[in-house]
Amino acid sequence: MLHAQSLGAGFPDRPLRLIVPWPPGGSTDTIARIYQSRLAEVLGRQIVIDNRGGASGATGAIEASRAPADGSTWTFVYDTQSTNETVMRLPFRTMEAFVPVCHVASGPLAMVAHQSTPYRTFQDVVEAARRAPDTLNYATSGVGGLAHVSTTLLQQQGNFRIVHVPYRGGGPAVQDAVAGHVPLFMTNVVIVSQHIRAGVLRPLGVTTATESRHVPGTPTFAQQGFSGFEAPTWWAMLGRAGTPAALVRQMNEALVTVLQEPAVKNRIEEQGCDIVASTPEECGRFLQAEITKWGRVITENNIRADS
């Protein structure tokens, strides 16, 4: 049994700041708010979420990279944390500016089409794009994120071209997708699951290696002719580099405890992802592998912040 008094020992005696580098309404914000109150209870410290959206998560990450390394500030990041440093010119490198705390969750990205479109399969999209290149738009939560980079890789493998429409986060993007202002949306499932269930958005493919229980009946892109294609999305907590190792370990233990509680675990997984709840070491190895893998794709395809 982990007690708040022991887990909270050593943290600054004031509310802890959790920077979420995305606007309210996106997946990162949604997941953070599910575990926030229980994590605060377990740590015995108030936790205040600070939404710092902009530049595909880079604005908030820059803010977090400048925070004091005393355990007062933590950041909850999305998959763009592994792609931004190759796509953009940032004043930090992730593995130098931050200390991994926990790989919280992972899940599929899905390409969805508005119900008013004629696209019933992803092959319909490919054929339409080949007939009229650069005329069909797709939205993502921002430039250089995994949704953007993985769709670029799909286009490369499938020899078709569609037009990227980046938004300032998943919240604004899903609003336009649901309204039908953009026909296609490549996104994590967390922010569109309810709209898929309602029939407003139609899933055409998922980026996991095998079909996902979160989008039942939807084939993977690998099953649709894109051999070997895999690009699961993810969420992780990081601390400022230099934060005392004991506090990193305490934060990890508290967060893992909360994530494994059925009330929290089920609420998060109902959104469309799977709890990972890793150790700091596992999180670090995973993050480095993602930076290397997608950095190569970004470089080979000349993806830049203005693309």
Give 244-276 pLDDT, tens digit per residue: 999 999 999 999 999 999 999 999 999 999 999
Statement to judge: residues 114 and 220 lie in one domain: yes
Statement to judge: residues 186 and 207 lie in one domain: yes
Domain membership of residue 194 (yes or no) is yes
Domain membership of residue 307 (yes or no) is no
Statement to judge: residues 96 and 244 lie in one domain: yes
Q: What is the CATH number of the domain that holds 218?
A: 3.40.190.10
Mean pLDDT (whole number) for 84-102: 96
Domain membership of residue 305 (yes or no) is no
**Predicted TM-score (pTM) of this structure:** 0.90
Q: pLDDT value at position 253?
A: 97
Mean pLDDT (whole number) for 22-50: 95
Place of tokens 């992730």: 94
Pick the closest to residue 185 from 233, 142, 238, 240 (CA basis).
142
Statement to judge: residues 154 and 58 lie in one domain: no
Domain membership of residue 163 (yes or no) is yes
Statement to judge: residues 277 and 205 lie in one domain: no
Q: pLDDT value at position 33?
A: 98
| Cα–Cα dist 101/281, whole Å | 8
* Domains: count for the chain: 2
Q: Which of 224, 243, 263 is the last residue of a domain?
A: 224
Q: pLDDT value at position 103?
A: 98
Whether 299 has a pLDDT exceeding 50, the answer reads: yes
Statement to judge: residues 240 and 259 lie in one domain: yes
Full domain range(s) for residue 287: 4-105+233-300
Range name among 7-16, 26-35, 55-64 with the lowest pLDDT average? 7-16
Q: pLDDT value at position 285?
A: 98
Instruction: Write down the mean pLDDT value for the chain.
Output: 94
